[in-house]
Chain A
Amino acid sequence: MTRAFAWIYLAVALGFIFLPVGMLVLFSFQDGRLPVPPFNGPSLRWYADVLGDRRLMSALGNSLIVAAVSSAIALLLGFLAAQALARYRLPGTLLMRVVLIAPFTVSYLIIALGLLTLYNRTGIGLSLWTAGVGHVVINLPLCFAILYAAIGDHHRNAERAARDLGASEVKVLALVTAPMLMPSMLAAFFLSFTFSWDEFIIAFLLTRFDVTLPVEIWSLLRSGLTPRANAVGSLVFLVSVSLLLLLELTVFRKVRR
């Protein structure tokens, strides 16, 4: 591959990747009711509109809560399971690993339908939390896999030392293992958080009134063509990206050293 071709390819690829986002953001500033060309000039009315929208804002709140809680549960369960399978020689370890990873290889739609069947049969009413359960199911394999891969022998030695000094198993996990795995724990948590936060089909099928942001955006899209959708999308994107860059420049710069 020649040098020039490589740079051209890179430029074109980046153009392709940024094209839709660029349009999205541009037409979120549209002064008019239709987010399509021609661009009528900048206006912030749709941002004001979105920020003042009760349904969107409560959906945002719901999304954050579900993402935080479901990721925390997935992290805790994943951490314990990874610890167990990495440390103890349990019979059927391979089978357990397969079972724990399995949800990761299945479409979300299938997980959602399965849970819907379960809830219908057992008479559990749909709510934000029934969707949250689904989010734990999809994120548990991820947390487990990341932490399982991260646990190494040097952790084991530190744990043994702590045990020899008389620390209880709970204390060892909480005060020795968890802190040593902190970068991976953080990674697992935030990755789960983003997956849950942006997840649509499980939240769509398993919530009733208190919906999450992607579901609310979906009904916004279905109910009419409006730059509001652009404004919401741009806001989510801009907030995500600025935090991402902030974290990249602070936390991870340190971690890599």
Chain B
Amino acid sequence: MTAAPVSAFRKSISLSLLAATALTAAAPATIAPAFAQSQELNALVWCDHTDPELVQPFEEEHDVRVNLREYEGTAAGLAILEQSRPGDWDVLVIDAVDVGRAVDLGIMAALPADELPTGDFFPELVMEDLNTRDGTTYAVTEKFGYNTIAYNKAAVDPADMTNFETLFSGKYDGRIAIYDYYLPVLGMLSLSEGIDTGDLDAEALETLREPLFDLRARSSQVSEVVASQTALATGEVDILVGGGEWLTAVLASENADLDWTIPEQGGVLWAQSIGVLESSENKDLATEFVKYIVSPEGQARLATSSCYWGMPANAAAGDVLTDEEKTVLRWDDQPDFLTRVQRYPVPDAELDTAMQDLWTDMLQQ
């Protein structure tokens, strides 16, 4: 190695000199000087919470720095929490259907139910059965939406999209993308097979294998949020299975042809909850943060945050959101939508593993 790479490196050393000196000199200036706050709050969240417009008002009001870390699936989030020391985390955002798993682990702290504005919530979104255990409230729903079918109506017949079966007809082969999250997509398939998402068990899961693989064969990609957006926006694909307003709303101003619908088989309701962690050493402030998030102002900012949009659980946010924002969110259609959707499947650890295995098989097909 003396010869080739090192001498190559050395010949290119000038190239490596790069930004270093000047950037180092510039460093002190760029290190945000504003973080002299006395307190910190550590939150394990989804990407929509990382929008500065959402967090900054709270930070200024309470003179606190809110540290945010994103995570992907519940299993990974719980793994992060398990490997932390007490006091590492104060606030957790989690799939509403998984609040129970967190409560089982004893990591959620009780919330003062009487201080939460659940009276103003869309009734379906209070989700007491999920957020509450034995009369104690451990989390509160903050945002929701649907995993259904998003499509480009300039390239697709909207009438076709009202029936999930059309996707299997061959008409749109190669123009479909699948959203890369196993729970909602398996939920949608389960609905199309006539199985309620709540009844999905190991046995029922096997019946989804064939339609899932079939759908996969008809799709050109399985992609995360950004790749899905890119694919839809650029015409790479015309249909996104698992998409919904969370995906199209951000792009609405750019491409008015992007639309979504709930097919007659139904769609999957996603909902995220927020709560305080038992190991937090700053529960009061953490509770204040939760209260801020579910306040009408916090809810409006969360609904339209930069990562993805979604309906606020608190209907009072409707007074804060603009009419345009409400149109994009389809505010007025919500009562109808809510009657046509089912919640995420709630797998136990074993079923969750089986679902992920099935998903990996599908990706590697």
A positions within 8 Å CB-CB of B? 32-34, 36, 53-55, 57-58, 60-62, 64-65, 67-68, 101, 120, 123, 125, 142, 145-146, 149, 184, 186-187, 189-191, 193-194, 197, 208-209, 219, 221-225, 236, 239-240, 243-244, 247-248, 251-252
Contact = CB atoms under 8 A, between A and B. Distances in A.
Q: List the 8 shortest-distance A-B pairs measured between CB atoms, nearest first.
A: A61-B31, A209-B67, A187-B13, A252-B14, A223-B307, A247-B17, A64-B27, A191-B16
Given A65-B27, A191-B9, A225-B226, A55 B19 contact: no
Interface in B1-25: 1-2, 6, 9-10, 13-24
Nearest to A208: B69
Contacts of B84: 125
Nearest to B231: A225
Interface stretch (B196-204, B249-257, B288-296, B345-353): B249-257
B254 A33 contact: yes
A68 B28 CA distance: 12
Given A189-B20, A219-B47, A225-B226, 5 more contacts: A33-B251, A146-B10, A190-B18, A223-B306, A225-B233
Nearest to B82: A120
A143 to B, nearest CB: 11
B42 A209 contact: yes
B306 to A, nearest CB: 7
Contacts of A61: 27, 30-32
26 contacts: A33-B251, A33-B254, A34-B234, A36-B230, A54-B34, A57-B32, A64-B27, A145-B1, A146-B6, A184-B10, A186-B17, A187-B13, A187-B17, A190-B13, A197-B19, A219-B47, A219-B50, A221-B226, A223-B308, A224-B226, A239-B19, A239-B22, A243-B17, A248-B15, A251-B17, A252-B14
Given A120-B83, A145-B6, A243 B225 contact: no
A2 to B, nearest CB: 27
Nearest to B229: A225
B24 A64 contact: yes
